[in-house]
Structure 1
Amino acid sequence: MKIRLVNNGVFTPVEDINEALLPPKNGFYWIDADLEDLAVLQPLFGLHDLAVEDCLTEEEQRPKLEIYENHYFVVINSIRFDDEEIFLRALNMFLGRHYLITVTRQKINELRSVKPILWEQEVDMPDRFMYHLVDLVVDNYLSVGDRIEARIENLEEDILMHTKKSHLTEIIGLRSEILWLKKVLGPQRELISTLNKKDLRLIDSELQKYFGDIHENAVKIYETFETYRDLMGNLREAYQSSLANRANEIMRVFTALTTIFMPLTFITGIYGMNFDFIPGMSYHLGSVVLMSLMAVIGCGMFYLFRKKDWL
């Protein structure tokens, strides 16, 4: 657990947690905690039992805002994409008058990247801190969406150029990830809308208007992933169409080869019959002439098929 006094974006470490129980003269306290630290924090700050229980028992939480007497409990999901799987990590926040407690199971990049923003914006209130944190989380969805779009484009190009059976596994896996993520984006969009419109005494009314900007991005992200879902359906159709075209190409080659060998088989069939007299059998160069004739016929048919673009 790390305790910091934040004043105008400047971080000052605090060793004794009891100092954070009372409002500072300037700034606020940011307590970055793990799940194990809740046993200490709950009685000191009066954190509600249900909120603490959610942090401890639910690994994947639904984004939400719960209002209690002395604090708010806010859950928002941070996203990470490693080009194979999408991961969501719950960011639990307890917002009070003079403190913000963040509780996570795993490390979340936004908690590190928010520090320069707090210093640049000279943040000195916990609600502003939470605003910038939520803004970073939502912006990260946009960057992940760009990477997913690039992956879809690369996958489409690979399917059109070199169709493989592994492509279908990739399509099904990525589509499932997108559908699962889309279910999470709905509640997250509603959460940000609540932060923007609901009368919340622990969040400055002027600051709430800025949450409307984040809400617009959340709506855009939701619509974007809706588009990605449709694109994955089109990609699956392109895969099946490519397989069908490839099968047609193979059948066309086999058909052409069979057609080329038909007259050759006819000639060899005639000369394989057991008759006493077959034209050219007594000629000493008969085999050479016959083989040459077969070669000319085969090459001629191959040239004809190539000219007509059948091969």
Structure 2
Amino acid sequence: MFQGVAMPICVFDIFADGTTQVPTDTHLTGPGIYRWWHFDLADPMLEPWVREHLHEIPAGSLIQKQTRPRCDRFEGGLILNLRGINMNEGQDADEMVSVRMYVDSDLLITVRRKKVFAIDAIRREAEAQKAPPSPAEFLEALVGRLTLRVQEHVATLDEQAEFFEDDLEDKNTPMPHELPEIRRSVIRLRRYLDPQREALAKLAAFDIPLIPDESQLELREQANSALIAVEELDELRDRLVSVQEEHDANIAQRQARHGYVLSVAAAIFLPLGFLTGLFGVNVGGMPGVDHPWAFTILCLGMAGLALLMFLVLKLVRWI
């Protein structure tokens, strides 16, 4: 069916009751309310296909190698790039996966670079004859799933931050080795989620026939959820910095205390070292060499001197 053209991961004609059928032709649109094409960016035939069927602006947005979240009107349709939590096995969640979209009243094209689980969930619904019955409801379903997974991941990071904060009650607790990586994770997430918040706010504000009023309300709620997630990430970033600083302060205090103890010991034993060095001189004329109690008297004198040094340091409040 698609010989010589881009091979979609899936394509469905979707009707008003949510039922679907797989088309038998290669036309851009079909008999349903809209036709959904889903592609992998790695398909070498994708670029010539989109350039043949779409204007160069939406075509270019679908095949960009690197993207950031965006939402722009193009004639009567939408160019939309969104990001979701990376749930692919063996990959970091904060290396967010992207979905590139072009949406029109009777056409919806999505392009992925890595597997997007939110898209796959909608695909399974389409296979079960329960697809979103309009492009606007497709966007609602996709944005809702992406936002929910972001909220769940941010909640997980929040729990870890609370655990780190509880650990600070014991000042001898070592710094968690996961702390630097979680701080980097928060920074990477915010890098994508802040522009995504702006893109969703723009999407919810568009007054176009493609997005009816009831869909606007739902998208506005999703945009608000994205804003809350960004604010929570800002708070998390500050809390993790505070945890890091407190651990650094505890380490500095311990090092200062250890240095202080060593300094006091050095101050007490400095004159004792002088005496042992002096009486260790192996030359004639040393006092007490022939006296049987000389060593005992020397040891007692050194003990008395150590006690005197301790009392002097106590008097001047060094200890």
* TM-score range relative to shorter protein: 0.7 to 0.9
**What SS does the corresponding residue of 2:280 show, helix, strand or coil?**
coil
TM-score normalised by length of structure 1: 0.73
- Structure 1 segment 126-145 matched on structure 2, within 5 A: 126-145=135-154
**What SS does the corresponding residue of 2:79 show, helix, strand or coil?**
strand
- 1:50 Cα offset (Å): 0.7
> Percent same amino acid at aligned positions?
19
- 1:195 Cα offset (Å): 2.5
Q: Output the CA distance in 1 between the equivalents of 2:132 and 2:164.
A: 43
- 1:187 Cα offset (Å): 2.9
Q: Output the CA distance in 1 between the equivalents of 2:30 and 2:274.
A: 102
Q: Which residue of 2 aligns with 1:109?
A: 117
Q: Output the CA distance in 1 between the equivalents of 2:92 and 2:243.
A: 17
Q: Which residue of 1 aligns with 2:5?
A: none
Q: Which residue of 1 aligns with 2:3?
A: none
- 1:62 Cα offset (Å): 3.6
- 1:224 Cα offset (Å): 1.2
- 1:135 Cα offset (Å): 1.1
Question: Counterpart amino acid of 2:141?
Answer: H
Q: Which residue of 2 aligns with 1:40?
A: 49
Q: Output the CA distance in 1 between the equivalents of 2:255 and 2:295.
A: 38
- Normalized per residue, the structure richer in helix is 1
Q: Which residue of 1 aligns with 2:75?
A: 68
**What SS does the corresponding residue of 2:207 show, helix, strand or coil?**
coil
- 1:233 Cα offset (Å): 3.5
Q: Output the CA distance in 2 between the equivalents of 1:272 and 1:209.
A: 91
Q: Output the CA distance in 2 between the equivalents of 1:93 and 1:160.
A: 52
User: Which segments of 5 or more consecutive residues in structure 2 lack a partner in the other structure?
Assistant: 1-7
Decide whether aligned partners of structure 1 residues 236 and 53 sit closer, same or farther in structure 2, where only a CA change above 3 A counts: same
Q: Which residue of 2 aligns with 1:221?
A: 229
Q: Which residue of 2 aligns with 1:79?
A: 85
C-alpha contact 1:63 1:77 (8 A) present in aligned 2: no
Question: Counterpart amino acid of 2:227?
Answer: V
2:211 is aligned, of 199, 203, 206, to 203
- 1:176 Cα offset (Å): 5.7
Question: Counterpart amino acid of 1:186?
Answer: D
1:161 is aligned, of 159, 169, 173, to 173
Question: Counterpart amino acid of 1:56?
Answer: I
C-alpha contact 1:9 1:124 (8 A) present in aligned 2: yes
Decide whether aligned partners of structure 1 residues 266 and 41 sit closer, same or farther in structure 2, where only a CA change above 3 A counts: closer
Question: Counterpart amino acid of 1:80?
Answer: N
- 1:53 Cα offset (Å): 1.0
Decide whether aligned partners of structure 1 residues 150 and 160 sit closer, same or farther in structure 2, where only a CA change above 3 A counts: farther
Question: Counterpart amino acid of 2:57?
Answer: L
- 1:102 Cα offset (Å): 0.9
User: Which segments of 5 or more consecutive residues in structure 1 lack a partner in the other structure?
Assistant: none
**What SS does the corresponding residue of 2:26 show, helix, strand or coil?**
helix
Question: Counterpart amino acid of 1:47?
Answer: L
Decide whether aligned partners of structure 1 residues 281 and 202 sit closer, same or farther in structure 2, where only a CA change above 3 A counts: farther
Q: Output the CA distance in 1 between the equivalents of 2:93 and 2:265.
A: 45
TM-score normalised by length of structure 2: 0.72
Equivalenced residues, count: 294
